[in-house]
């Protein structure tokens, strides 16, 4: 196999399509395809992987990509099994995201960062985990004094922050530089494996800074608004907040 393919989603979350060459095909139980470049996000950090299509330039044949994952540093596309022959190594293809779903994930992911930022800034509570689907998600916090009243306040504060049209910036920092930033330490950056030399950060300017691999919108106004749809105790200290985007 050739060197690691170009992984466009990390630098340009808005790229929906790319032309690529098939670099590897593995026709197992699930047929998998590696391309020399892709717009797919492979999943991770609570954000599910993308779905979409691979279309062969020569004849317009298309394959549905039902998911993706990372293996050996490569983004691996998982094809829907339809009994047909897979593409061949060397084929020129177009790789397309299911964009409505991805954009909903970008908005949801950014909303969760705004929630983290507000809960940390206003209550000093650390996030311990999270998960999302397109349009909804949950975050867990070490947040002993969470209550119904506080959750209502948090919802309106997050909505005000989103409406403030804050820019969302992506950066890639050398490890030592990232470790010197106090805001990053709280997101348990120190748990990242030793071998990682650069750290990708997502900053909602003036509100939140996290080490993160996912895809986000470039300004909070694209999120719209959120609604807190539930909250629960996972113990004395650990609390969970569920949100959804107000327009789905």
Beta carbon nearer to Zn ion, 216 or 239: 216
- Residue 213 CB, nearest distance to Zn ion (Å)? 8
The rounded Cα 171 to chain-centroid distance in angstroms is 15
d(Cα 39, Cα 99) in Å, to the nearest integer? Answer: 11
Q: Does 214 bind Zn ion (CB under 5 A)?
A: yes
How many Cα neighbours within 13 Å face the side chain of 226?
36
Going 164 to 112 to 192 to 190, the CA torsion angle's sign is positive
Q: Is 117 in the site for Zn ion (CB under 5 A)?
A: no
212 binds Zn ion (CB under 5 A): yes
Task: Closer to Zn ion by CB, 74 or 212: give it.
Answer: 212
Nearer to Zn ion by C-beta: 50 or 212? 212
Distances in Å between the Cα of 75 and the Cα atoms of 5, 24, 26, 191, 234 are 8, 11, 13, 23, 34
Our CB check for Zn ion shows the closer of 52 and 214 to be: 214
Contacts of 117 (CB under 8 A, 6+ apart): 161, 204, 207, 208
Cβ distance to Zn ion smaller for residue 61 or 101: 101
* Residue span binding Zn ion (CB under 5 A) among the ranges 66-74, 90-98, 164-172, 212-220: 212-220
Q: Kindly tell me the number of DSSP H helices and DSSP E strands found in the chain.
A: 4, 15
**Encoding tokens for residue 100?**
């409505």
Judged by CB under 5 A, how many residues of this single chain contact Zn ion? 2
CB of 1 to Zn ion, least distance (A): 30
State both tokens at 101: 């779903």
Min dist. Cβ of residue 210 to Zn ion (A): 6
Q: Which stretch binds Zn ion (CB under 5 A): 33-41, 116-124, 209-217, 234-242?
A: 209-217
Q: At what angle do helices 148-163 and 99-123 cross, to 10 degrees?
A: 120
Task: Give the 3-state secondary structure of residue 200.
Answer: strand
Among the listed ranges 32-40, 77-85, 150-158, 207-215, the one in contact with Zn ion (CB under 5 A) is 207-215
Distance of alpha carbon 121 from alpha carbon 126, whole angstroms: 10
> Is the Cβ of residue 32 or residue 47 nearer to Zn ion in the bound state?
47
91 lies in the binding site for Zn ion (CB under 5 A) = no
Task: Check residue 137 for interaction with Zn ion (CB under 5 A).
Answer: no
Which residues of this protein are in contact with Zn ion, per CB under 5 A?
212, 214
């Amino acid at each position: 196999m050739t060197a690691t393919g170009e992984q466009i989603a990390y630098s340009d979350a808005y790229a929906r399509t790319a032309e690529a060459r098939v670099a590897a095909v593995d026709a197992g139980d699930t047929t998998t395809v590696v391309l020399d470049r892709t717009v797919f996000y492979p999943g991770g950090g609570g954000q599910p992987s993308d779905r979409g299509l691979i279309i062969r330039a020569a004849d317009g044949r298309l394959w549905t990509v039902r998911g993706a994952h990372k293996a050996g540093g490569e983004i691996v596309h998982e094809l829907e099994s339809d009994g047909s022959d897979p593409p061949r190594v060397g084929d020129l293809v177009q790789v397309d995201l299911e964009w409505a779903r991805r954009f909903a994930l970008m908005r949801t992911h950014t909303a969760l960062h705004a929630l983290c930022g507000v809960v940390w800034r206003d209550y000093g509570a650390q996030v311990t985990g999270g998960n999302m689907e397109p349009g909804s998600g949950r975050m867990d916090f070490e947040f002993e004094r969470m209550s119904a009243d506080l959750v209502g306040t948090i919802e309106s504060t997050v909505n005000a922050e989103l409406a403030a049209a804050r820019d969302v910036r992506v950066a890639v920092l050398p490890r030592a530089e990232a470790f010197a930033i106090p805001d990053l330490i709280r997101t348990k950056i120190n748990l990242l494996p030793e071998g990682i030399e650069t750290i990708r950060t997502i900053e909602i300017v003036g509100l939140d800074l996290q080490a993160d691999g996912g895809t986000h919108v470039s300004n909070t106004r694209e999120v719209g608004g959120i609604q807190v749809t539930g909250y629960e105790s996972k113990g004395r200290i650990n609390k969970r907040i569920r949100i959804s985007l107000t327009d789905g």
